[in-house]
Each structure stands twice: as structure tokens, then as C-alpha cells.
Structure 1
Amino acid sequence: MTDGKTLAGIDTVLFDLDHTLIAYRRTSGELLAASFEACDLDPLFPVEAYYECFDELRDQHDSIESLRADCFERLAAERGHDPSLGREVAAAYTAMRDQTNVAFVPGAQTVLDRLYGQVDLGVVTNGTGEAQRAKIDAVDLDQWIDATVFAGEEVPAKPEAAPFERALTRLGSTPGSAVHVGDSLSSDVAGANAAGLHSVWLADGDEPGPETSTAPTHRIESMPELLALLGVE
């Protein structure tokens, strides 16, 4: 549920891409299992360990590929395996990940339809332009989006303020009249806060970790709640 407040005077809405607007149809758990099989290995670690490592190290990497390789190497070593096996599995995982096999998260397309023409819409996403562009094209996202910034490639990655500032410049907007929506406290919310935007955390039932000090302006549990927050009927 939303916090009961509404945002007034918003003329620009920025979105994170992965797990905010779209998600892979093939889950990470399914792909990890297939990667172990492709390398003729018994599972070296569970997918839950990958998620934990991903969250721990995500701010230390500019690309998902290097982050994944680092995680897999570390997780393999922690469990007494040759670290190189972790990198082998990471390479198999990357090779099998189809960047076009994505779909909108529940409610996201409806939100885009309702907001289109009422406010300017943009995407600020970490990751390589090639991979992220493939996802964007797969769902024809450009029909709604007025500006896209590939953070970590053309400007520093989130949570730096630069990618948000770049998006606002392209859209002719200002931080006080803009909001950024994303699923990551450490990159989306922290970055939006640093750039002076209103930040909306798409929590989806998650809770901040005990050491998390980053606080969003607003919290929603699902994308459709954004419409009520913005006062869009």
C-alpha cells in the first residue's frame, strides 16, 4: 500500500528498467540450474546466495556481467570449490541469458498507458546499452518513453546523481518536479535522493536491511499504486 500521501506538481516520471518496468520470463534460479548443467557441475551454491551476494556487491561494479562473475567466484570459493569454476558458470549464465525474453511486470504497461501524454516519461537504467536496448526493444518501450539514459556507460552508474541529471536535461525538467521509481534502495532511491528528485521505492513486499539508512520519499508495493500517488485516476 502507498503511504497515503500524494505528489503534486510532478511533470516528469523516471523509471528504473529491470524489476521495475520489465523482468525476465526465465527466472534466475532456472537459469542458474541450467548453467551448472551446461558446465557439467553439481550446484555449487543456491540462487538465494547469489541474490545476497548481488545486493552486497552491486555498488562495486558498473556492469551486471562483472558483478555476476565476482559473485559466482566468491560463492564457489566460500564453499570450498575452485573459484575458476564460479567464473565458468558465470560465463555460461551470461551466454544463455536471452535479453529479449522479457515481459512487463504486473501493472507496468497500464501505468505507462495512463501516464503517457500527461507527464514526460524517462528510463534511467544501469547496465550495458546493448543489453538494455535489447530489452527495451523487445517490449517496444520507446512508444511511451521520451528519454533513456544508460547509466554506467554514457554517465556514471546509479547511485550517482549524474544519470538522473542527464535524463532531466534531456526532458527539460527540474528535480523538484520529477520523481524516480525503482526497486533498489541502494541505487534507485539513493541516486534519486542525491539528485534532488522525489524517490519512490517499489518495495514489492521487501523491507530495508538492518544497516540500510537510505529512505525513499514514498513507498509502493506494486506499480499500479503509483497512479494513486500521482493523483492520476
Structure 2
Amino acid sequence: MKALESWLGGLPAVILMDLDGTLIDSAADIALALNRALDDLALPPVSERQVRDWVGRGAGRLVEVVLQHVVPHHGDDPQRHVLHEQLLARFMARYQDSVCEASTVYPGVREFIDAAHAAGIRLACVTNKPYQPAVALLRALDLLDDFDLVVGGDTLAHKKPHPEPLLHCLRHFGATPGSALMVGDSRNDVDAAKAAGVVVVAVPYGYNHGEPISDCSPDRLVASLSELI
């Protein structure tokens, strides 16, 4: 981890890592579950490419964008919240049923995690995905045992971009914001880290609702986590 140590002036005690779009490319499975949910409601499908541009702000926001795309004048319908809740519930159920059919670990992630372990750094996964599917996805791709703590979007009262999930991790490890590092791919990650006083590294290959992650002003941008080794 000499590259990371050189940049920070020392190694962090704790690294907090986002899940979807940072560790794991899960867009294909999200698209599969979403299209199955749309079919359940007799609505037309969307493409995986569209889903990749729409994810990054949580499931509720994803469903809202999908409905704007597949249902003409959805925003003008006074009962739009009913359809939104129906599709969101079906999507979450479908995704829970098949969380890892096509998801893969991004290049450089395994090497980075192994290097962090070798350096004695504690690891936490901090995601807005609900806890149960997050754990199932990590387990399916043989990453679960690498993390000392997993915080899901339903673990606490707040989720990213609120700083509470990050502060919760710091309390768990007895760490200070200055001794931690956040790694993520979205504005939620960057804003949560800045609010918590934690340095944040971002990767450009993930999901940020179509917005370049560089526009979110992370402290550092790397093409692959292997650059930090």
C-alpha cells in the first residue's frame, strides 16, 4: 500500500468501501430484476445500458426514472405514487430472489483488499443497498469474510449521503475521521465522506446517475483501486 501511504502521509486505520459500482458491477442483475418487476406489472422493459445511467441514487430514485421513461405522463398522474410503490416493491422482491446471476467483482478490487489486509487495515462495506441483499451479494462473490463490518441502507435511520453510516463505522472501530478513508463511485459517497470529515477516493467506472464522478470533487480519482497499492 505504498502508493496510498505516500499520498495520505500514512496508512489509514480503517477503509470504508461502497458496494455497487465500487467493489461489484451489479448493473446486469439490477436490470434483470427491474425488467422482471416491470413484466409483473405489464410494463415495457428497459435496457441494461439505460439502467447503468440511472442507478446511483438509490432504488426509489431508479424506479421513479424508469416510470418516467416507460409510462408517458407518469409525472402528471395524481396516483403516480401508487405505481411507484408497486414497482419498487416488485423490484426489491425480484432482486432479493436473484441477487447474483451476472454480477462480477471489478478488476483491482481483490488485490486492493488483500493488500489492505496485509497492511493490517480494517475494512467496512458501507452501502445504501438493504443489508440482506448486500450480504448475499458479498457472500456470493466470496467477499463477505473480508469485511469486519457491513452497514446497509436499512441498518440505521439515515443512509448516504448522510454522514451517519460512516460515523457509525468509526465508532464501531474506535477510529477518528482523520484515520479513515472512504472509497466510492457516487455523489452519495463523496458527500457522506465530506460531511463526516473523511478523505474520499472515487472510481469513475461505477454508477453516479449519469454524472461524471469528477464533478463531485472527490479528494482523489483513480481508474482502478490497484493504483492505490
TM-score strictly above 0.5 = yes
CA distance in 1, matches of 2:143, 2:213: 35
CA distance in 1, matches of 2:21, 2:148: 20
SS in 2 for 1:181: strand
SS in 1 for 2:127: strand
Unaligned runs of 5+ in 2: none
| Residue 58 of structure 2 corresponds to residue 69 of structure 1 | no
One-letter code aligned to 1:129: Y
Query: Which one has a larger percent helix, Structure 1 or Structure 2?
Result: 2
CA deviation after TM superposition for structure 1 residue 140, in Å: 3.7
The aligned counterpart of 1:230 is none
One-letter code aligned to 1:19: G
CA deviation after TM superposition for structure 1 residue 189, in Å: 1.0
The answer to whether the Cα contact below 8 Å between 1:70 and 1:87 also exists between their aligned partners in 2 is no
The answer to whether the Cα contact below 8 Å between 2:15 and 2:123 also exists between their aligned partners in 1 is yes
The aligned counterpart of 1:96 is 94
**How big is each residue's C-alpha offset from its partner over 1:149-187, in whole Å with a ceiling of 9 and x where there is no partner?**
224432411111111111111112211121110011x21
- How many residues are aligned here? 215
Root-mean-square deviation (CA, aligned residues, Å) is 3.5
Matching residue within 142, 145, 148 for 2:147 = 145
**How big is each residue's C-alpha offset from its partner over 1:117-169, in whole Å with a ceiling of 9 and x where there is no partner?**
41111111112222212222223434221222224432411111111111111
The aligned counterpart of 1:196 is 197
The answer to whether the Cα contact below 8 Å between 2:159 and 2:165 also exists between their aligned partners in 1 is yes
The aligned counterpart of 2:113 is 112
Percent identity over paired residues: 27
CA distance in 2, matches of 1:100, 1:27: 6
Unaligned runs of 5+ in 1: 228-233
The answer to whether the Cα contact below 8 Å between 2:190 and 2:216 also exists between their aligned partners in 1 is yes
Moved more, 73-82 or 174-183: 73-82
The answer to whether the Cα contact below 8 Å between 1:74 and 1:86 also exists between their aligned partners in 2 is no
The answer to whether the Cα contact below 8 Å between 1:168 and 1:174 also exists between their aligned partners in 2 is yes
The aligned counterpart of 2:180 is 178
